Amino acid sequence: MSNELIQIETPFQFSEENQRKFDKLIQRYPVKEAAMLPTLHLAQKQAGYISPAVMEHVAELLELPVMKVKDVVTFYPMFFEEPVGKYVIRVCYTLPCALRDCKLVLEHIKEKFNIDVASETDLAKGTTPDGKFTLLKSECLASCDVAPVVMVNDDLYKNLTPEKMEEILDGLE
Amino acid sequence: MVQERRILYEHLDVPDINTFDVFRQYDGYKRFEKTIKEHQPEEICDMVTQSGLKGRGGAGFSTGLKWSFVPRDIEPRYLCCNADESEPGTFSNRYVLEKNPHLLIEGILICCYAMGISTAYVYIRGEFTLGKRMLDAAIEEAYRHGYLGKNILGSGFDLDVYSHPGAGAYICGEETGLIESLEGKRGQPRVKPPFPAVEGLFHKPTVVQNVETLCNLPFLMGQGVEWYTSIGRTYGDTRFDPPQSDPNTGTKLYCISGDVNKPGVYELDLGLTAEELIEVAGGVKGERVKAVIPGGSSAPILTHYELECRLDFTSLTLWKSMLGSGGIIVMNETRNIVDCLLNIMKFYAHESCGQCTPCRWGTPWVRDIVQRIADGEGRQTTIQRPRFGIAEGGRWGDTGEMEEVYEDLDLLESVANNIANVDTMTWNTICVFGIAVSWPAVSYLRKFRPEFEAAIREGKLVTLPVEEATVPPEENYAYQQRIVPRLFEAPA
Ligand SMILES: Cc1cc2nc3c(=O)[nH]c(=O)nc-3n(C[C@H](O)[C@H](O)[C@H](O)COP(=O)(O)O)c2cc1C
Ligand code: SF4
Ligand code: FES
């Protein structure tokens, strides 16, 4: 399977800087496999998502069968197997945020971009056609004191209302 | 009103406390220096045992006892600091990582010195990008100043600390799930025994400890066991105090959220009551309290009749609940308990790791039943009680009374109890995630049954007034158990 995919996709390589980071990472663990999660994070940062080519490369670096990498990628919600928007919006939807009307924020984003909430198996339905935003529901983000909260890529926004959310989204390039 | 006692959080808001220099000004690393100067590793373990320090991550297990299980003759040994913090309603570790990461490093240093460990990993949940950045910067500074690395402060003690990112899976907070995940696999918990203390990371003895637990160590070592055990509430003044064979010492970072006026983290002596905590957090937002979740979403719920309960490790167990991670979620009179349960069950159905059949199938099943009830399609049937006698028309036949039963509620309880039985406390699963599912499901149902019944009867969610929604204390399965023998009566 992997051979076919490799032929249609451009092979993936770490950039020089990321390769340096990887070389440092790998020294932290007595077995290479343990560097899996940080390596995948690094690769996803560079490539945007974990394509088969990325898996192939990570497997090579960690000296593992590709299947093992795929196994891990499918388990963790933070790894995407399809392209996602430039900004990934995660709206926390667990109880404390639900008690603080996170629903209004979510509905507002859905309406604004005319998209649905992406699911792990269908990221496209939650992505704007221009590929700028992807909308996801998230589990408790450990900030329930400032609920409702939303994460946009690596940044956390607190005490949100639909209006505040609108302002934040408009401010993103 | 109960006063906050800030120990772990004392310097949290000092500007730049995340830098080495400022941290030093506030006694930073001095307690570690004192420890390696004055104490042998074995002494430290004894002190931790005597202090009564209990794990703050969820299980509340005695830290000293856990350390005593670690075989000293197998090298290397590891420390995994659990910074996965994903229990809904919990947010105290995040602030430590983001604002005062050197305190955690100092705690790690003391733990590793005591256990003869030379490699520690801090497993940080993937979403904590800022926390990870701050910790990484602090680790680098500590290396630069010679507090990490080889031969620390000339003592011959070596320690490397690395941060390790998770990737959004709740189950990686479970200690063996965390270890699997750290090893680069799916975060699926292992069958225990062997416990991690004996065979953990890379099949070596491993101590898994929560951030807050480790942050207690510098203060414990700096100011001594006597000081530490003096912190805690006096017991014996409420009607329901547990025996004090297993004291609750130290402070707890209580995280309170939901319907209160001032949600946040409050550092308080262990053992205040739920009522008192709500008062500290500015009182309930709205008219009155309907329900309180005392220890993260996995903990059984408390009704408004049960607010006298002390929020500590031993008392809550007697109330058939738990302090867990110390995440307290308050709900006011406008909340619908069925709706709340649905939210929580969606969380668990999403987060089951899928290894055990009862959990993999049972959890979505529970969610679907609650969804059905919330959608107004809960099932109800009429059954006839078995009784054989002379029926209408003078013939022998069934004569039992006809009765309406809420089929879905029985099903809900039965499915939940078959994942993990809350009455016998036995579970049919590999890890206690199973209990974390059935505990809320069964406790919400039993304690707020009228609201579930109303939803089925009316065919839609109905929010009943607090009194009507709650099962009275006489019928509350947990309330019945809570009156414990009084060991405090003054001698005559
Ligand atoms: C499903 C599940 C999730 C857990 N999540 C966490 C967590 O997010 N953070 C944590 O510190 N402990 C968590 N725990 C508890 C750990 O298994 C373990 O008991 C704890 O990290 C031990 O550290 P302590 O003794 O310092 O509390 C979880 C346990 C279970 C069963
Ligand atoms: S109980 Fe659930 S979460 Fe725990 S190991 Fe089994 S399937 Fe996984
Ligand atoms: S529920 Fe949203 S941050 Fe905890």
**Do A31 and A62 lie in a common domain?**
yes
Question: Which one, of B340, B299, B291, lies nearest residue B319 by Cα?
Answer: B299
Residues on chain A touching B202 (C-beta within 8 angstroms): 30-31, 34
Which of A43, A75, A107 is where one domain is finished?
A75
**Do A91 and A56 lie in a common domain?**
no
Residue A81 belongs to a domain: no
User: What is the residue type of A61?
Assistant: L
ipTM here: 0.93
The maximal CA–CA distance of chain B, rounded, in angstroms, is 100
Low-confidence ranges of chain B (pLDDT < 50): 483-492
Residue A124 belongs to a domain: yes
**Do A99 and A166 lie in a common domain?**
yes
Indicate the angle between helix axes B449-458 and B407-419, nearest 10 degrees.
Answer: 130
Question: Which one, of B93, B125, B122, lies nearest residue B351 by Cα?
Answer: B125
pLDDT at A7 over 60: no
Q: Which of A92, A103, A145, A156 to mutate to test the interface with B (most CBs of B within 10 A)?
A: A145
Residue A150 belongs to a domain: yes
**Do A108 and A68 lie in a common domain?**
no
> Which residue out of B176, B298, B352, B432 has the highest number of ligand 2 atoms within 8 Å of its CB and is therefore the one to mutate?
B352
**Do A38 and A67 lie in a common domain?**
yes
Q: CB distance B258–A140 less than 8 Å?
A: no
In the three-class reduction of DSSP (H, G, I as helix; E, B as strand; rest coil), residue A117 is classed as coil
Across-strand partners of A22? none
Q: pLDDT of A72-94, one tens digit each?
A: 999 999 999 999 999 999 999 99
**Do A37 and A108 lie in a common domain?**
no
Residues on chain A touching B166 (C-beta within 8 angstroms): 37, 76
Residue A30 belongs to a domain: yes
**Residues 6 or more apart whose Cβ sits within 8 Å of residue B111:** B79, B117, B120, B207, B209, B214, B217
Q: Distance between CA atoms of A105 and A148, rounded to whole angstroms?
A: 8
Q: Residue B106's pLDDT is what? A: 96
Within 10 A of B193 (CB to CB), how many other CB atoms are there?
Answer: 9
Taking all residues of chain A, what is their mean pLDDT, rounded to a whole number?
92
Q: How close does chain A come to B129, measured CA to CA in Å? A: 6
Question: Which one, of B234, B322, B309, B290, lies nearest residue B447 by Cα?
Answer: B290
Q: Residue B39's pLDDT is what? A: 94
C-alpha distances (whole Å) from B477 to each of A55, A95, B306, B444, B484 are: 52, 25, 12, 12, 15
Residues on chain B touching A154 (C-beta within 8 angstroms): 129-130
pLDDT at A31 over 70: yes
Domains and CATH numbers, chain B: 20-230 (3.40.50.11540), 251-334 (3.10.20.600), 338-462 (1.20.1440.230)
Ligand nearest to the CA of B295: 1
Q: Considering only alpha carbons, which residue of chain B is nearest residue A79?
A: B167
Mean local confidence (pLDDT), A109-120: 93
**Do A152 and A115 lie in a common domain?**
yes
The alpha carbon of A2 and the centre of ligand 3 are apart by a number of angstroms equal to: 39
**Do A157 and A93 lie in a common domain?**
yes
Q: Residue B489's pLDDT is what? A: 39
pTM for the complete prediction?
Answer: 0.93
- Domain that includes residue A41, residue range: 2-75
Q: Based on the structure, what is the number of domains in chain A?
A: 2
Phi-psi region of B58 (alpha: psi -120 to 50; beta: other; left: phi over 0): left
CB proximity under 8 Å: A 6-25 to B: none
Rounded to 5°, the CA angle B53-B54-B57 comes to 135
Q: Residue B482's pLDDT is what? A: 53
Chains A–B, number of C-beta pairs less than 8 Å apart:
135
CATH of the domain at A131: 3.40.30.10
> Which residue out of B298, B433, B435, B439 has the highest number of ligand 2 atoms within 8 Å of its CB and is therefore the one to mutate?
B433
The sign of the dihedral angle between the CA atoms of B267, B268, B272, B275 is: negative
Which of A75, A103, A136 is where one domain is finished?
A75
CATH of the domain at A38: 1.10.10
Q: Distance between CA atoms of B399 and B479, rounded to whole angstroms?
A: 37
Rounded to 5°, the CA angle B4-B9-B11 comes to 115
Q: CB distance B88–A140 less than 8 Å?
A: yes
